[in-house]
């Protein structure tokens, strides 16, 4: 039984169960791996008694333990009969790790995408949107949990993989449908080794929550009462229509987001084979060239309305050089991670790349009205791209979104209200 005790927030920490021995004391009472914590008695924390020493003192005796269930977000007190000290199963029949159970539901890595034929697909057999990576145990080392204070799960996992290249590791994984499992495998030794996953953490990607049957029955009763009180058919129809419209919009945005993720993941996985190291020399060269073309296009501002194609041609070249300069500033891997891990940045970079390519083509043919529209369009997304690089630039992006799209939202609301009023009038006439 392994433990990694810490002095940080002792009253918020417990021993997470990682392995359960079949027919052991904890297995017999129905404890579950990865989702259950053993909360130490207060006397242990106050008297600073080691938990293993406490179990040795009570070997062969019956003790009460508090078990916190991460699945149900609640605790219960159980009674178990401990094994003897010399038992092969251990005193309580489990291997554990000392962790914070208060934030454990947040500090997990939810697997969203798995690349085909990758390490995650072939070795770990991860399932998209079902699996959560909880911890990793390098061979002959303690368990390293992703549930750590001061560091996010993605960074912790990346550091573990980088440090243990070529080493055998045990990955602890929780599946929404099948529960806990562990996979022992060897991490690749290539310098450009990647796991082939796209993961997320935070409020929308927490450890699964399982409601009690009593709670479900109460919720069902409340829903039935609410449905019985709704007697207005016209309001129900309007609500259903608005909900369908919202679902259509959310489905479209979800599919578009998934498409951009797949597009960028495949492109960058191929691109990452040709690693580019950070180089301030080339960064300055491309940045100066980009600035030169932007200053040149600024000189054409007096004739912008007369000849927008010239402005667009110079502005497109300036955009392309500046965009490429950041590749040398961050290096290929950091540059890739910058746009894979941020949905807003991914969307903006797609728009900027498209506008840069199309703007160059249009400027060569010199169409007046189209060149004018794309010049304005490209300037907007260039500013938004700069805001993705600058610290706290997200506030500027949100402000630009409100300015650009709020008129369209107001128009859409006016049209929607107009159609709803006409529909209600028709229903009243009938």
Q: What per-residue confidence (pLDDT) applies to 362?
A: 58
Give the percent of the chain with pLDDT over 70: 58
Q: How confident is the model at residue 34 (pLDDT cuts 50, 70, 90)?
A: very high
- Evaluate if residue 369 carries a pLDDT over 90: no
Q: What per-residue confidence (pLDDT) applies to 302?
A: 67
Instruction: Please state, as a whole number, how many other Cβ atoms lie within 10 Å of the Cβ of residue 337.
Output: 16
Q: What per-residue confidence (pLDDT) applies to 106?
A: 92
Q: What is the pLDDT of residues 278-330, one digit of tens each?
A: 788 888 888 898 888 878 877 776 665 666 666 767 777 777 787 778 777 77
Q: How confident is the model at residue 113 (pLDDT cuts 50, 70, 90)?
A: very high
**Closest residue by Cα to residue 141 from 333, 2, 37:** 2
Q: What per-residue confidence (pLDDT) applies to 239?
A: 55
3-state secondary structure the chain: CCCCCCCCCHHHEEEEEEEECCCCHHHHCCCCCCCEEEECCHHHHHHCCCHHHHHHHCCCCEEEEEEEECCCCEEEEEEEECCCCCCCCCCCCEEEEEEECCCCCCCCEEEEEECCCCHHHHCCCCCCCCEEEEEEEECCCCCEECCCCCCCHHHHHHHHHHHCCCCEEEEEEEECCCEEEEEEEECCCCCCCCCCEEEECCHHHCCCCCCCHHHHHHHHHHHHHHHHHCCCHHHHHHHHHHHHHHHHHHHHHHHHHHHHHHHHHHHHHHHCCCCCCCCHHHHHHHHHHHHHHHHHHHHCHHHCCCCHHHHHHHHHHHHHHHHHHHHHHHCHHHHHHHHHCCHHHHHHHHHHHHHHHHHHHHHHHCCHHHHHHHHHHHHHHHHHHHHHHCCCHHHHHHHHHHHHHHHHHHHHHHHHHHHHHHHHHHHHHC
More confident residue, 42 or 275: 42
Ramachandran angles phi, psi of 2, nearest 5°: -100, 150
For residues 49-70, average pLDDT: 90
For residues 333-355, average pLDDT: 57
Q: What per-residue confidence (pLDDT) applies to 215?
A: 53
- Evaluate if residue 253 carries a pLDDT over 70: no
Work out whether the CA dihedral 290, 292, 297, 298 comes out positive or negative. positive
- Evaluate if residue 429 carries a pLDDT over 50: no
d(CA 278, CA 199) in angstroms, rounded, equals 25
Across 92-96, 151-155, 370-374, least confident range: 370-374
For residues 137-148, average pLDDT: 93
Q: How confident is the model at residue 185 (pLDDT cuts 50, 70, 90)?
A: very high
Across 55-59, 233-237, 282-286, 377-381, least confident range: 233-237
d(CA 81, CA 244) in angstroms, rounded, equals 56
Give the percent of the chain with pLDDT over 90: 34
CA atoms within 13 A on the CB side of 100: 15
- Evaluate if residue 345 carries a pLDDT over 80: no
Collect all residues with Cβ–Cβ distance below 8 Å to 262 and sequence separation of at least 6: 113
- Evaluate if residue 142 carries a pLDDT over 70: yes
Quick one: residue 2, left, alpha or beta (phi over 0 = left, psi -120 to 50 = alpha)? beta
d(CA 128, CA 258) in angstroms, rounded, equals 12
- Evaluate if residue 428 carries a pLDDT over 50: no
Across 47-61, 87-101, 408-422, least confident range: 408-422
Most confident of 262-266, 381-385, 419-423: 381-385
């Amino acid at each position: 039984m392994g433990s990694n005790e810490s002095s940080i927030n002792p009253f918020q920490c417990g021993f997470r169960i990682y392995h359960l021995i079949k027919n052991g004391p904890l297995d017999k009472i129905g404890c579950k791996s990865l989702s259950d914590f053993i909360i130490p008695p207060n006397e242990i924390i106050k008297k600073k008694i080691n938990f293993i020493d406490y179990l040795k003192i009570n070997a062969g005796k019956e003790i009460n333990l508090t078990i916190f269930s991460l699945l149900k977000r609640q605790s219960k007190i159980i009674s178990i009969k401990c094994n003897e000290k010399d038992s092969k199963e251990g005193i309580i029949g489990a291997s554990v790790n000392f962790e914070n159970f208060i934030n454990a539901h947040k500090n997990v890595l939810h697997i969203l995408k798995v690349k085909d034929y990758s390490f995650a697909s072939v070795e770990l057999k991860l399932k998209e949107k079902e699996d959560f990576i909880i911890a990793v145990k390098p061979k002959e080392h303690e368990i390293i949990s992703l549930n750590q204070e001061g560091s996010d799960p993605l960074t912790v996992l990346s550091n573990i993989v980088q440090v243990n290249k070529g080493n055998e590791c045990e990955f602890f994984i929780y599946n929404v449908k099948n529960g806990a499992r562990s996979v022992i495998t060897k991490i690749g030794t290539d310098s450009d080794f990647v796991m082939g996953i796209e993961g997320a953490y935070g409020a929308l990607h927490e450890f699964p929550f399982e409601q009690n049957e009593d709670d479900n029955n109460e919720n069902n009763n409340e829903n039935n009462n609410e449905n019985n009180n709704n007697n207005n058919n016209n309001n129900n129809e309007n609500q259903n229509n608005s909900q369908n419209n919202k679902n259509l919009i959310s489905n479209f945005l979800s599919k578009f987001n998934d498409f951009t993720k797949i597009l960028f993941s495949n492109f960058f996985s191929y691109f990452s084979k040709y690693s580019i190291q950070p180089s301030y020399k080339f960064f300055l060269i491309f940045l100066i060239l980009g600035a030169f073309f932007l200053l040149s296009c600024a000189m054409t501002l007096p004739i912008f309305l007369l000849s927008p194609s010239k402005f667009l041609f110079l502005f497109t070249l300036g955009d392309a050089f500046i965009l490429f300069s950041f590749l040398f500033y961050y290096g290929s891997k950091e540059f890739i991670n910058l746009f894979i891990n941020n949905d807003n940045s991914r969307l903006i970079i797609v728009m900027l790349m498209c506008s840069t390519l199309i703007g160059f083509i249009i400027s060569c043919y010199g169409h007046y009205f189209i060149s004018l529209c794309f010049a304005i369009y490209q300037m907007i997304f260039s500013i938004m791209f700069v805001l993705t690089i600058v610290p706290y630039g997200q506030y500027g992006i949100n402000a630009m979104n409100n300015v650009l799209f709020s008129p369209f939202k107001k128009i859409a609301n006016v049209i929607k209200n107009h159609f709803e009023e006409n529909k209600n009038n028709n229903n009243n006439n009938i």
